[in-house]
């Protein structure tokens, strides 16, 4: 594998010195880019893109051709694991992901098995290898997975949900059944992320998108416990360097200390948590990733630049910050505004890295 030309993303995750604050965007290969929309049309649909390693590689590389980003992230979806378990993932236009066979009974959960990435998700592993070759050491590649709790909500609800009624009903009425499901998912996430690392991913992120929907005690029992198990099961060194792990619980700002206890290298923040306060709480233990409100990208470039400046000032001097949005970039954003954001991070952050 070729030597990394730009490793500031990996260095920042390990709180090592960098020249400027690294930046990437969640969902950086996405519908806001006209070239992505053209590729998706050619593929026929979203799963056509995900399931074709060459096309997944093509769209992963598109934002890097446009912007001086410090990392690439595998183009895939968090719901590949439940799909590999035979639940029949499909996408309704305007409604998001749905499953033909939701998981709602003890028999449904007993029928699930831990996935074998090589057999069940070869297209993802092939895409990782292909993207890593295509990057040719320009920037690191991030692999990812959904968290067990987040995956479970989609599997039980049969798709997206506003109140997670069915999932929470199972959690409170049949906690042992919910734990069985979460344990199967945690073991699947471990083998899936390890397969991505072995194929060339140089850092991994776990997206706990719906962890913030849980109560304080339920979060610890039904989400954090499994994040902890995953972190402890991952390959942490490869090709002579550490493979950093980022945990991102949307709406999880109140749990940063216990999230840091898992041994993750970095925690993702959404825009509701001030990064300076977060750094004061946990910054000597983990790096922090985030945390600009994605909707600021609808503002004028000078307003975007001012927001970047405020977040950098809040974090302060020194390494341990990976600049990102607090959630994924949205489809209606002007690509020029995304470019202004990325340039502002590099321009304005050098003063914090003397």
Q: Is 209 annotated as a binding residue?
A: yes
Task: Give the H/E segment covering residue 200.
Answer: none
Task: Give the H/E segment covering residue 294.
Answer: none
Q: Are strands 241-242 and 237-238 parallel, antiparallel or unpaired?
A: antiparallel
Q: Is 77 annotated as a binding residue?
A: yes
Q: Is 31 annotated as a binding residue?
A: yes
Q: Is 56 annotated as a binding residue?
A: no
> What Cα–Cα distance (Å) separates residue 219 from each residue in 88, 125, 212?
28, 30, 8
Q: Is 302 annotated as a binding residue?
A: no
- How far apart (Å, rounded) are the C-alpha atoms in residues 196 and 207? 15
CB 46 within 8 A of CB 121: no
Residues contacting 78, CB < 8 A, separation 6+: 144, 145, 146, 150, 151, 207, 209
Residues labelled catalytic = 27, 31, 40, 77, 154
CA 90 and chain centroid, separation:
21
Q: Strand, coil or helix: what is 50?
A: helix
Q: Is 326 annotated as a binding residue?
A: no
Q: Is 28 annotated as a binding residue?
A: yes
Task: Give the H/E segment covering residue 244.
Answer: none
CB 209 within 8 A of CB 250: yes
CB 197 within 8 A of CB 243: yes
Task: Give the H/E segment covering residue 242.
Answer: strand 241-242
Residue ranges at the known binding site: 27-31, 77, 154, 209, 327
Binding residue ranges for substrate? 27-31, 77, 154, 209, 327
């Amino acid at each position: 594998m070729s030597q990394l030309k730009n490793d500031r993303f990996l260095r920042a995750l390990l709180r090592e010195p960098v020249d400027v604050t690294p930046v990437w965007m969640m969902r950086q290969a996405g519908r806001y880019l006209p070239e992505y929309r053209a590729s998706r049309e050619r593929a026929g649909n979203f799963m056509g893109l995900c399931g074709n390693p060459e096309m997944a590689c093509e769209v992963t590389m598109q934002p890097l051709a446009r912007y001086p980003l410090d990392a690439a992230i595998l183009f895939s979806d968090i719901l590949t694991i439940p799909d590999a378990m035979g639940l029949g993932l499909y996408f309704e236009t305007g409604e998001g992901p749905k499953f033909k066979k939701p998981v709602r009974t003890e028999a449904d959960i007993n029928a699930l098995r831990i996935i074998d990435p090589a057999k069940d998700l070869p297209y993802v592993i092939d895409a990782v290898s292909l993207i890593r070759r295509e990057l040719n050491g320009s920037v690191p590649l991030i692999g990812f997975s959904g968290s067990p709790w987040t995956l479970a909500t989609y599997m039980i609800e049969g798709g997206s949900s506003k109140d997670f009624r069915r999932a929470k009903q199972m959690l409170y009425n049949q906690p042992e059944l919910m734990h069985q499901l979460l344990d199967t998912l945690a073991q699947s996430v471990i083998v899936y992320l390890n397969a991505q690392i072995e194929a060339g991913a140089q850092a991994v992120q776990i997206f706990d998108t719906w962890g913030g929907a849980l109560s304080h005690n339920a979060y610890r029992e039904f989400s954090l416990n499994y994040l902890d198990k995953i972190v402890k099961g991952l390959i942490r060194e490869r090709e002579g360097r550490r493979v950093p792990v980022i945990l991102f619980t949307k709406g999880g700002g109140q749990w940063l200390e216990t999230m840091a206890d898992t041994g993750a290298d970095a925690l993702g923040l959404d825009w509701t948590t001030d990064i300076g306060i977060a750094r004061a709480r946990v910054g000597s233990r983990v790096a922090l990733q985030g945390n600009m409100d994605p909707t600021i990208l609808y503002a004028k470039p000078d307003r975007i630049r001012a927001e970047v400046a405020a977040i950098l000032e809040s974090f302060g001097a020194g390494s341990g910050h990976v600049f990102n949005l607090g959630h994924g970039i949205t489809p209606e954003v002007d690509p020029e505004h995304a470019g202004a954001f990325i340039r502002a991070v590099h321009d304005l952050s050098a003063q914090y890295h003397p």
